[in-house]
């Protein structure tokens, strides 16, 4: 008998599933029985190999969210019930020098594409009368300001807002919409911070858990929020940060 954490019979789309957090989420969902479409700008061969080696089901979808409407047609007539919006980019520059081009690139991928991907997914499920779950990847900078990442901070504050808005509108249709706000996770996006000895020391001193997070720390949380066990959780932005925000 399937337990409350099982994703058997579910089909998931995970964006940005090539590496890091997206890869860990795809592997975690497949580990609970979901069939996972791994989407990214580049082929997700490594992620798919990991899932299949463990006996799971996965396929590949190349998609570039530099076009915020790139996903407008992929849900039509498909049987997806889970959507994880993980794809994102970051541009580091002082606010006085942050260019319009960098602002637009970050906001298009991190916020505009997420909304319109959610819209396409929600439209299909609501039209078909099916339930489902959306999980957006927010950030500690959904709560804080940060430094030298103005476009990223704005986009991640926006993710928190549209997560709550969609949760309000779509709860009557049986669609939950939540977000995870990862703390400092050892991924490509934080490589520059980890390679700066002074900045890395400052970060670790603030984290009660005393370590950088691992992508798997986010994967397990994602699998829970997509599962039947979380059906009464919607509109939440859950920080998974080793205690950073509690400090």
Question: Cα–Cα–Cα angle for 236, 200, 188, nearest 5°?
Answer: 65
Catalytic residue among 80, 152, 184, 232: 152
Residue 184 a catalytic site member: no
DSSP 83-108: EEE---------TTT--HHHHHHHHI
Q: How far is CA 163 from CA 5, 171, 226, in A?
A: 22, 12, 14
Tell me which residue of 237, 219, 239, 180 sits closest to 29, measured CA to CA: 219
Angle between helices 20-31 and 45-53 (to 10 degrees): 30
Task: Give the E-state strand segments of the chain in sequence order.
Answer: 11-15, 35-40, 57-62, 82-85, 132-137, 175-182, 237-240
- In angstroms, the CA 103 to CA 119 distance is 23
3-state SS assignment for residue 52: helix
Residue 246: DSSP 8-state: G
- In angstroms, the CA 16 to CA 40 distance is 5
- Catalytic (active-site) positions: 152
């Amino acid at each position: 008998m399937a337990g409350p954490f099982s994703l058997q019979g579910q089909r998931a789309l995970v964006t940005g599933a090539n590496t890091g957090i997206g890869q860990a989420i795809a592997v975690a969902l497949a580990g609970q029985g979901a069939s996972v479409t791994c989407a990214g700008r580049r082929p997700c061969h490594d992620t798919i190999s990991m899932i299949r080696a463990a006996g799971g089901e996965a396929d590949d979808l190349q998609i570039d969210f530099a076009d915020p409407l790139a996903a407008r047609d992929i849900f039509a007539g498909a049987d997806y019930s889970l959507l994880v919006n993980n794809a994102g980019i970051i541009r580091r520059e002082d606010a006085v020098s942050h260019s319009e081009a960098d602002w637009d690139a970050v906001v298009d991928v991190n916020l505009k594409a997420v909304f319109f991907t959610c819209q396409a997914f929600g439209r299909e499920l609501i039209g078909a009368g099916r339930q489902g779950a959306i999980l957006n990847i927010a950030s500690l900078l959904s709560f804080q300001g940060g430094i030298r990442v103005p476009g990223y901070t704005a986009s991640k504050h926006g993710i928190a807002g549209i997560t709550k808005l969609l949760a309000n509108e779509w709860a009557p249709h049986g669609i939950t919409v939540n977000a995870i706000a990862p703390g400092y996770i050892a991924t490509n996006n934080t490589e520059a911070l980890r390679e700066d000895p002074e900045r890395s020391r400052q970060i670790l001193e603030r984290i009660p858990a005393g370590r950088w997070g691992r992508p798997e720390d986010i994967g397990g949380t994602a699998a829970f929020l997509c599962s039947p066990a979380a059906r009464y959780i919607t509109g939440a932005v859950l920080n998974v940060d080793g205690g950073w925000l509690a400090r």
